[in-house]
Amino acid sequence: MLTIGQLAAYAGVTVRTVRHYHQIGLLPEPERDASGYRRYGATAAVSLIKIRTLANAGVPLSRIEQLLEADAATFTAAIRRIDSHLRDEIERLETSRRQIAELAAGDGLTLPPEVTAYLDRLREIGASERVVAGERDGWILVGARWPDSVREFMPGKLAQLDDPRIVRLYRVLSEILDGDADDDPRLAEAADIMAGLAEQAHAAGELDISNEAYDEMPHDLLDALAVESDPRIQRLRELLRERGWTGWNRMERLAEPPSC
């Protein structure tokens, strides 16, 4: 006859585990003997070893009692169902691991490789991590609205980075946002560049939003995201209005440029 400690050691579990199995009714608890101790026989040892084996295999404790009492055919069928469930769980966990790996990679979370390559290109031209982070969040919004089209935007966006004015804009914005001046004089330079680019795009017909399929919400969200990222963006928008333009992601010409 075995004490609870001897039983636990023989089956390769802890005394606490044996007591837990008693508590949930998985392993019968013997009566105390004349000396006041609980003693366990060979049947208890066999039952505990079976319980440990099933638990270590991933079988839920709530299912183990049913399996211990099942005949061979029922046991086999139940094990197969549990195995199928475990395969599904493994697939779920593997998916979670891939998502965690993407999270660790930073830019890859929720974004396709084409966008992460674009963000890397921004770093290469001198954009700061804060500016890149803002771009990444913006593309997350775009990707959520147009998941099938976001990749198609990238060749054009990469081509824009060959324009020295856009490179200069990203560098100026990086210097502004990485600084702590509330009214950085470089805001005026950024506004000049943006107004010039908008003027060129307007002349080429690239700012036409008369299409009935035009969806304002993503553009409104992108504009809001810019302002929420740093209060100085609001000052930059005011400077753009002084130059005759409104908006941020999708700029529009004001009917009458305000007088300075």
Please state, in angstroms and rounded to a whole number, the distance separating the CA atoms of residues 99 and 121.
Answer: 23
196 CB contacts (<8 Å, ≥6 apart)?
Answer: 165
Burial class, 180, CB count within 10 angstroms (exposed 0-12 / middle 13-18 / buried 19+)? exposed
For CA atoms 236, 238, 244, 247, give the dihedral sign. Answer: positive
- Predicted confidence at residue 108, as pLDDT, reads 58
146: which strand partners?
Answer: none
3-state class of 40 per DSSP?
strand
Model confidence, pTM: 0.59
pLDDT at site 111: 82
Range 1-65: architecture per CATH: Orthogonal Bundle (1.10)
**In this predicted structure, what is the pLDDT of residue 259?**
53
Reading the chain (260 residues) residue by residue, the pLDDT tens digits are 889 999 999 999 999 999 999 999 999 999 888 888 889 999 999 999 999 988 988 888 988 888 888 888 888 888 888 888 888 988 998 888 876 766 665 555 668 889 999 999 999 999 999 999 999 999 988 888 888 888 999 999 999 999 999 999 999 999 999 988 888 999 999 999 999 999 998 888 765 544 444 567 888 888 899 889 898 999 999 999 999 998 887 788 887 555 54
Beta bridge partners of 2: 40
